[in-house]
Every structure is written in structure tokens, then in C-alpha cells.
Amino acid sequence: MNTEASRRSRVLQISYACHPGMNSEPGVGWNRAVQSAKYCDTWVICELQYSSDVERYLAQHGPVASLHFFYVRTLRLEWLLMQIPGCFYLAYHFWHLRAQRVAKRLHQQHQFDLVHQVGYCGYREPGYGWKLNIPFVWGPVGGTQNLPVRFTFCLGGWKGIGEWCRSLVNSLQMRTSRRVYHALRVAKVVIAANSTNQVDLSRMAGRPVEQFFEAGCSPEDVVPERSDRGTLRLLWSGQLEAWKAFPLLLRSLARQKGSLPFELTVIGQGSQMKRWQSMADRLGVAQNIRWLGALSPSESREHFASAHALVFTSLRDTTGSALFQALEVGLPIVCLDHQGAKDIVTRACGIKVPVESPQQVVQDLASALHDLYHLSNDDYDAMTNNALRRARELSWERLGERINHIYDRVLGRSEATAPDLADNDEFMLAESDSGSES
């Protein structure tokens, strides 16, 4: 028997954020690690701030076999830098320099077969895992998308100018970053987080890149019971920031005052809250809106389970964790038909609005909500069941299988094509020996 071929692969994952009870980037880091440990002996380097929550989880639930954590501290000066607009990635880069020293030491001890740069998802920081001179996997990678130009100045004042500048800088960075270019060229596999990113990264890499989402679902067993749609209970969840384009929803609801009975729950916080609350008041829909601020994942899930639809208006998002949260509880989605949402939401589980102009989106969004309200109970129930089915297609377990297939292929252990996650795809803890590094 070939001992080398039969032993489990040893994988190092670099995930700045890793938390067992959170969504977004911390949840991605955790779930990616747990799924990897099912197939490979897995080591994870993450930021020290997550250590207490990771270790508490492991103490309560028991160790995850074959999973080991090591922690690297973000220095005080770096935390301060992260608060300055435009300086986050500079501080984040310094962390990766220290993480690389830990990676090198661990590689000397454990002789990894492969290193995987997991997160953050954004393309601007590829880390230094490729310097270990072992197969390097990067992704899923996102952040290449820009806000559609026609919508830039509907954001209002300086926010619109800021988005225009952000798009300009983003496009320049994609074309001029030597570190990003080098990482794309040396990586054995690059994974794009959505189809827009896939086009951009393929162009940058000069070769095809794979594509599937950076996040996954933990679906319920059955669709939660939802009361009659005599009043349409809508949910909007995310950062209250300009690029999330919440005013598009406000204007579409204002068009239907008196004809569409609705309640809108808003989860999240951000710099635009007061401005948007004032806008809701001016448009005459404020009395129908509840602003809940930031909630824990468990609190949010209750609202997702009781709503009739999630409305996702973001003009610039790699994916959007709210989309996965909605699918997990069989919640239909009304979204814009572009970037990550276009890939995640199928027409069986949601309504996708074309993105051509602000006026057109407002009008079509109003029509979509009208159509949703007037769906027959059978058609609405079919949509909820399809949402839960989509969540199963995008479960962490299935994403874990696909990542493991990529690992095997890179290491010459599998020649087969990676299995599709679904027929209707539109996209192609630890043991107690954890350590830390200051």
C-alpha cells in the first residue's frame, strides 16, 4: 500500500477572521476550516481577537478532530490605522507579514501539502502563503466589482463622489497591483466569488479561474410557518451605507402607498441611518418601518423566519450574507439582477430586477413587490420551498466537498471534474494545541 497516497493531506488555511457564531467573513473562516477538517488535517492561522470565542466553543462542544488553530495579534497601531479611511489594507498587510512568519514555522514542523488563502475575500490582499513553495490556492476572491456608473450620483452628494472615486481606484488597483498579479500567476487554483469577479480575475490572471461562493448555508429542515400575507412583511438587512441603496426600496414603497399593505423591518446600522429615516418620513412611509439596529445572528434569524420576503438592494456586493440567511429559512428574495445576487438567487426562489437606471429599478422593484403580494398561496409556498432547496444546494457541506475536490486535484489525488453543486446552479474545533503569535 502506498502510505504517502493514503495519508490525509495537511492543509494550512490563512483566515484573518474566524468565529463559530458569526456571519460574514468570521463565519466563512470558521465554516471553511470545519469542512476542511473532515477531509484533511487542517491548521488555521487567524487573528488573536477570535481566540477566546473559538476556545470557548471548543470547550463547550468538544474539539473538532484534525483541526488546529494558531493566532496572530493585530498591533495597537494597526488597529488605529484600520479606523482611518483608506488605511485598512495597509494594517491588514502588516498582519499578513507576521502571519507568514508563523506559517513558515508551522510548515517546518508539519510539512504542509497545500496552503489556502481563505480570507478576507477581497482581492487586494493575497497574503504570502505562496512563499512556502507548496501548492497555493486562493479564494473565493471578490471585491473586483464596482457600483454601476448610472447609479453613482443617485447616492447623494459626497457619497456619490466617494463611490465614483472608489470605483476609479478599484479599477486601477486591479490593473497595477504587482502582488495581486503575482499571486494570481503562482496560484495552482484561483476561485472567484461570483461571475463578475470570475471575468475580472480571468482577465488579470491570463487564464480561466474557477467560481463558487465564499459563503454557504446552514439550512433549516423545513420551511418555517408564515402567517397570511394580508400585510406583506418585508425585511431589509445589511450595513446602512450608501452603496446598499436602501432609498431605492423606500421610493418603490412610496409609489404604492395605499395599494400595498406592508411592514418593513430594517436590521443593521451605519452612517446613513438618520438620513434614510428622514427620507422615509418625507416619503410618507415611516410609520410602516421598524429600525432594529444591529442584531445577533440568532436574533436576526427569528426575523428572517417570520418575514414574507427579503429585499436586497445592494448596488455593490460580492455576495451578501443576508441572501444566505434568507435561503436558510426558505425566505423568498427580491433583489437586483447583478453581481453576487444574480448568481445566488434563482428565478424559482426570488424575483430579480434588472439594473439599468435608478428610475427603472424603482419602478420594477415596485412591480416585483406588487406581484409578490398578489401571488397565490400555492405559488408563494413553491417559492419558499425552492428557497430552502437552493440553501441545500449551497450548504457548507457541499461547498466543503467542492473545496476538498480542488485540494485533491491540486495534489494529484483526483482527476475527475468537480461535481456540480446543483442541477440548476447559476455559478460555477480545533484540538487544544492552539498557539498565538504577537
Q: Is the pLDDT of residue 103 over 70?
A: yes
Q: Is the pLDDT of residue 421 over 50?
A: no
What number is the average pLDDT over the span 372-379?
94
What confidence tier does 424 reach under pLDDT thresholds 50, 70, 90?
A: very low
pLDDT in tens, 107-129: 999 999 999 999 899 999 999 99
Q: In angstroms, rounded to a whole number, what is the distance separating the alpha carbons of residues 327 and 428? A: 18
Helix (H, G, I), strand (E, B) or coil at 13: strand
CB of 42 closer than 8 Å to CB of 66:
yes
Helix (H, G, I), strand (E, B) or coil at 48: helix
**% the chain with pLDDT above 90:** 78
Provide the pLDDT for residue 228: 82
Provide the pLDDT for residue 422: 40
DSSP result, 271-315: TTHHHHHHHHHHHT-GGGEEEEES--HHHHHHHHHH-SEEEE--S
What confidence tier does 257 reach under pLDDT thresholds 50, 70, 90?
A: confident
pLDDT in tens, 39-94: 999 999 999 999 999 999 999 999 999 999 999 999 999 999 888 988 889 999 99
CB of 330 closer than 8 Å to CB of 220:
yes
Question: Into which CATH architecture does domain 3-142+177-216+395-437 fall?
Answer: 3-Layer(aba) Sandwich (3.40)
CB of 140 closer than 8 Å to CB of 126:
no
Average pLDDT, the chain: 90
CB of 356 closer than 8 Å to CB of 336:
no
DSSP result, 214-263: S--B---SSPPP---TTSEEEEEES--SGGG-HHHHHHHHHTTTTTS-EE
What number is the average pLDDT over the span 151-171?
86
The predicted model scores a pTM of 0.89
Angle between helices 178-186 and 195-205 (to 10 degrees): 90
In the chain, where are the structural domains located?
3-142+177-216+395-437, 232-393
Q: Is 379 exposed, middle or buried (0-12, 13-18, 19+ CB in 10 A)?
A: exposed
Q: Is the pLDDT of residue 223 over 90?
A: no
Q: Is the pLDDT of residue 310 over 60?
A: yes
Question: Do 3-142+177-216+395-437 and 232-393 agree at the fold level?
Answer: yes
pLDDT in tens, 198-216: 999 999 999 999 999 999 9
Q: In angstroms, rounded to a whole number, what is the distance separating the alpha carbons of residues 290 and 307? A: 13
What Rg do the C-alpha atoms of the chain give, in angstroms?
A: 22
Q: In angstroms, rounded to a whole number, what is the distance separating the alpha carbons of residues 393 and 421? A: 6
Q: How far apart are the first and last CA of the chain?
A: 43
Rounded to 5°, the CA angle 196-198-203 comes to 105
Q: Which CATH number fits domain 232-393: 3.40.50.10470, 1.10.260.40, 3.40.50.300, 3.40.50.2000?
A: 3.40.50.2000
Q: In angstroms, rounded to a whole number, what is the distance separating the alpha carbons of residues 199 and 417? A: 21
pLDDT in tens, 316-342: 999 999 999 999 999 999 999 999 999
